[in-house]
Structure 1
Amino acid sequence: MGADIISIIFFIVAIVLAFIRKINIGIVALALAVPCTMLIGLPGKEIIAGVNGNLFITLVGITLLFSIVNDTGALGLLAYKIVAVAGRRLWLIPILLFVAGGIITGAGPGGIPVLAIMIPMGIAVGIRVGYNPVMLSLIGICGMTGGRFSPITPETAIIFSALENTGISSASAVPAIIVNVTLFNAVVAILLFIAFKGYKVKAPEQMESDEEGTKSFTTKQWISFGGIIAMLALIIFAKVNVGLAALIVSAVLLLCHIADDGKCIKSVPWGTILMVLGVGALLHIVAKTGGIALLTQILAGMMSPSTASTFMALSAGLLSFVSSALGVVYPTMMPMSVGIAQQIGGVNPVALMSAVAAGGSCSGISPMSTGGAMIIAIMAVELKDKFTKEQQNKVFVQLLVIAGANLLVLMICAFLFFDIIANILCPL
């Protein structure tokens, strides 16, 4: 058995063990990387070389900065203000939630932290005005997913890493991915609105004023927003690394006591960072032994230029049901997209990366994933005794069915327009 196959087996075992035992896959991946390298004759320093220092700085910097901003309550208040604009024009609320999800996520924190804002807001607003709270939460998540791939999010840091030394410009690739993913999620949001019959909901005769949305931003909140602008200025004009720019701004904000440093440091998703870096280290071994090239060759052999994006979307979507998008799907399949496109010929790798980007988020609304589980948990808190066991089971099944339907819609969208948009915005 070749070293490439052995390394792939170790990688699959890491995913299966972490899924079955429900523990951080990064820890499992790092642990299995040791016997893997010993078995195939690679030195242990290759594991350390596989820990991406640049990605670590980016993830820590971005998440710390937005832990500080979130600690001031600025992001949550901004989201409520966006929704409060709708007033009695209920048809605007789903649109504003979609836009708010994209804007807040795209400002830098990435998808995972924004779930804690969009889901509670969607449920609270839905209960108050008469919309199905599950529908509003899912529409907010759809908007959030499009925003995950702005140039300063942790998700896009993985895309930049995948594009290194490929000759593909990230300046044109990232916008193409954003447009594809956002359009797909807009289609899903519209279908959700129709499926839940949101068009039949009328504004109540008497609507209470949204107290949260009428509050004014505090000085600390304005300063925290200024920190985001300062970070962007450092990145754009001073050409500072994204993570380092975020760390510089974070340090200044903490020195000014804008937020509590201990609380913000604890809020950094260290488990997610360990997951991404640990899986990356094992993937480095897989790539070093030719495992990634082998997987690329196998997938390419099953595709044609017309079905490549659809098949890639299916593969990423299915993988996302058993593993983390940020920790496994994106680091594994983004680099493979370039190789697969080259082997098939006539396929834009950015279209395949768009399929991976959208597919990796497909399972997020499943009740067995963070988004879906959070919807059920927060509905139980908001509705209390009214949210009976029967209703919980109904929502569980709803979310499971929607997650599956989401993947089907993605495959259709990938076939219809992913290649077209990629060729327009990022031609070969």
Structure 2
Amino acid sequence: MMSLLVVAAIVVAVALGYKTKINIGLFAIAFAYLIGCFGMGLSPSEVISLWPLKIFFIIFSVCLFYSFATVNGTLEKLAEHLIYQCRTVPQLLPFAVFFTATVISAMGAGYYTVLAFMAPITLLLCERTGMSLITGGMAVNYGALSGANFVSSQSGIIFRGLMANAGIPENEAFINAAGIFVSTLIIPLLVISVLVFMTGHGKAMKASAYVATEPTPLNREQKMTLWLTLAMMTIVLAAPIASIALPDNATVGFINSKMDIGLIASLFSVIALLLKLGDERKAMASVPWATLIMICGVGMLISVAIKAGTIDILASWIGNSIPPILVPIVFGVVAAFMSLFSSTLGVVTPALFPMVPPIASALGIDPMILFIAIVVGAQATSISPFSSGGSLILGSCPTEQSRTSLFPQLLFRAAPLGFVAALIFNALLTFVY
């Protein structure tokens, strides 16, 4: 009975957030308090302790450091330079947009930030080069998603934190997150290749007379921010990779045990402030507070569900009712459906990731397959005009006419295409692996 109540609370929280446009995390906190204290007999202190403090600290610290690159214009300038390099081969522009968005997002800008300044640039390029709106929209959306999934970027860090909370060892969580990143890098390349080389878009772009103006060089602050960002990424990635490569080396093990991306990012934020690379107040304001509240609020409610035994019941039902070979595909479809109405980071992954270890253990499936299937499925429908990503792209259209034209293309072509690509990928991953 209590498990059904918690599931209903999660559904109601998402529905209320979707309907009222109020942060889903706030509804989740309220339900966690009401169900935890008055339905399950937990004390207020016990409910408050369910707040995922480690995930909150890591996301806050990393986003604060990366926000300097946004505030001082480093990422925007870098995007201009990367796209300019592709001016002589216009038919490859969708790939340039994709890789530019991927690099910028991987450097910490995050999905929404990249879309906010890359989508207008991309749609403007569509007008000038003959690139179709659907191809440009999917390229920038896919790039922002895959880059954010990088193990040291915003989404990748959240995935690793959620996996650790679900009981996955940190080294395994790192490998699983790398698997997610690689998978979400492969799918877009295949989809964009089909759109460019098999639909005639490439020829249309090659025939266009596109003239690109050379962007201005990076200034002192932007160059230093770029080097500082690359240095932090190197430090964050080097320790776990060395630990995986040399598992028996005591020195490597000791160094890796002292590495924490949240603390490292905090240290680099202090260095950035001392070097005057950006305004502290603007950097603090750039932290995605709404996303933080949503992830942690839903995390509290999911923790209440775990205490109520809801996750174990759902995991047991999936394990007993669905053939093992179809479980990753089913997870992908469920994640895609949930993502139509809610956030991948704030709702879908916090709700589904805790089910993975018990199901994987019971069915003998590699947990990484299920984690990949969930993220691939959830991000397949992010281009829908009803999702935050699709709506950002629509809002970036330069004219009302292009906006009217793009809406049905996103809904009836891009979203289904992304879903089918994800379904095929998850099926191949299941049967090949």
Q: Which position in structure 2 is the counterpart of 1:393?
A: 404
Matched, 1:216 2:217: yes
Q: Which position in structure 1 is the counterpart of 2:185?
A: 182
Q: CA deviation at 1:11?
A: 1.7
In the superposition, relative to structure 1, how do residues 162 and 64 fare at CA in structure 2: closer, same or farther (>3 Å)? Answer: closer
Q: Which position in structure 2 is the counterpart of 1:362?
A: 380
Determine the C-alpha separation between the residues in 2 that align with 1:302 and 1:61. Answer: 42
SS at match of 2:184: helix
Matched, 1:17 2:16: yes
Q: CA deviation at 1:369?
A: 1.6
Q: CA deviation at 1:203?
A: 4.0
Moved more, 407-416 or 158-167: 158-167
The one-character-per-residue Cα deviations of 1:142-171 (angstroms, maximum 9, x if unpaired) are: 123222222112322233234333357234
Q: CA deviation at 1:320?
A: 0.5
Q: Aligned AA for 1:188?
A: V
Q: Which position in structure 2 is the counterpart of 1:35?
A: 34
Residue pair 1:33, 1:47 contacting (<8 A) in 2 also: yes
SS at match of 1:364: coil
- Work out which of the residue numbers 377, 394, 403 in structure 2 matches 1:376: 394
Moved more, 98-107 or 234-243: 234-243
1:185-264 equivalent positions in 2, closer than 5 A: 185-193=188-196, 197-203=200-206, 206-211=209-214, 214-235=215-236, 236=238, 239-264=258-283
Task: Output the aligned Cα RMSD.
Answer: 2.1
Determine the C-alpha separation between the residues in 2 that align with 1:197 and 1:205. Answer: 13
The one-character-per-residue Cα deviations of 1:294-324 (angstroms, maximum 9, x if unpaired) are: 1222233342222122111101000101111
TM-score, structure 1 length as denominator? 0.89
Residue pair 1:142, 1:185 contacting (<8 A) in 2 also: yes
Residue pair 1:142, 1:189 contacting (<8 A) in 2 also: no
SS at match of 2:211: coil
Q: Aligned AA for 2:48?
A: I
1:93-112 equivalent positions in 2, closer than 5 A: 93-112=93-112
SS at match of 1:107: helix
In the superposition, relative to structure 1, how do residues 339 and 188 fare at CA in structure 2: closer, same or farther (>3 Å)? Answer: farther
Q: CA deviation at 1:106?
A: 1.9
Determine the C-alpha separation between the residues in 1 that align with 2:97 and 2:183. Answer: 19
Determine the C-alpha separation between the residues in 2 that align with 1:293 and 1:16. Answer: 24
Q: Aligned AA for 1:118?
A: M
Residue pair 2:69, 2:222 contacting (<8 A) in 1 also: yes
Q: Which position in structure 1 is the counterpart of 2:66?
A: 66
Matched, 1:317 2:336: yes
1:134-149 equivalent positions in 2, closer than 5 A: 134-149=134-149
- Work out which of the residue numbers 279, 292, 298 in structure 2 matches 1:279: 298
Residue pair 2:92, 2:202 contacting (<8 A) in 1 also: no
Identity %: 25
Q: CA deviation at 1:398?
A: 1.1
Determine the C-alpha separation between the residues in 1 that align with 2:16 and 2:374. Answer: 23
The one-character-per-residue Cα deviations of 1:154-189 (angstroms, maximum 9, x if unpaired) are: 322233234333357234322222222222222222
Q: CA deviation at 1:279?
A: 0.7
SS at match of 1:259: coil
SS at match of 1:361: helix
Residue pair 2:72, 2:277 contacting (<8 A) in 1 also: yes
Q: Which position in structure 1 is the counterpart of 2:250?
A: none
Give ranges in structure 2 of 5+ residues lacking alignment: 240-254
Q: Which position in structure 1 is the counterpart of 2:246?
A: none
Moved more, 200-209 or 119-128: 200-209
Residue pair 1:33, 1:281 contacting (<8 A) in 2 also: yes
Q: CA deviation at 1:198?
A: 1.3
Residue pair 2:56, 2:296 contacting (<8 A) in 1 also: yes
Residue pair 1:184, 1:413 contacting (<8 A) in 2 also: yes
Residue pair 2:384, 2:415 contacting (<8 A) in 1 also: yes
Determine the C-alpha separation between the residues in 2 that align with 1:302 and 1:409. Answer: 26
In the superposition, relative to structure 1, how do residues 348 and 64 fare at CA in structure 2: closer, same or farther (>3 Å)? Answer: same
Determine the C-alpha separation between the residues in 2 that align with 1:79 and 1:44. Answer: 48
Residue pair 1:311, 1:411 contacting (<8 A) in 2 also: no
Q: CA deviation at 1:60?
A: 1.0
Determine the C-alpha separation between the residues in 2 that align with 1:53 and 1:116. Answer: 28
Moved more, 172-181 or 394-403: 172-181
Residue pair 1:118, 1:137 contacting (<8 A) in 2 also: no
Determine the C-alpha separation between the residues in 1 that align with 2:266 and 2:115. Answer: 23
SS at match of 1:216: coil
Give ranges in structure 1 of 5+ residues lacking alignment: 424-428
Moved more, 356-365 or 272-281: 356-365
Moved more, 321-330 or 391-400: 391-400
Determine the C-alpha separation between the residues in 2 that align with 1:419 and 1:117. Answer: 39
Determine the C-alpha separation between the residues in 1 that align with 2:68 and 2:87. Answer: 30
Q: CA deviation at 1:194?
A: 5.5
Determine the C-alpha separation between the residues in 1 that align with 2:198 and 2:352. Answer: 32
Determine the C-alpha separation between the residues in 2 that align with 1:299 and 1:160. Answer: 23
Residue pair 2:90, 2:205 contacting (<8 A) in 1 also: yes
In the superposition, relative to structure 1, how do residues 203 and 282 fare at CA in structure 2: closer, same or farther (>3 Å)? Answer: same
Matched, 1:268 2:287: yes
SS at match of 2:90: coil
The one-character-per-residue Cα deviations of 1:28-70 (angstroms, maximum 9, x if unpaired) are: 1111111111122222223212111111111111211222101
Moved more, 76-85 or 3-12: 3-12
Q: CA deviation at 1:223?
A: 1.0
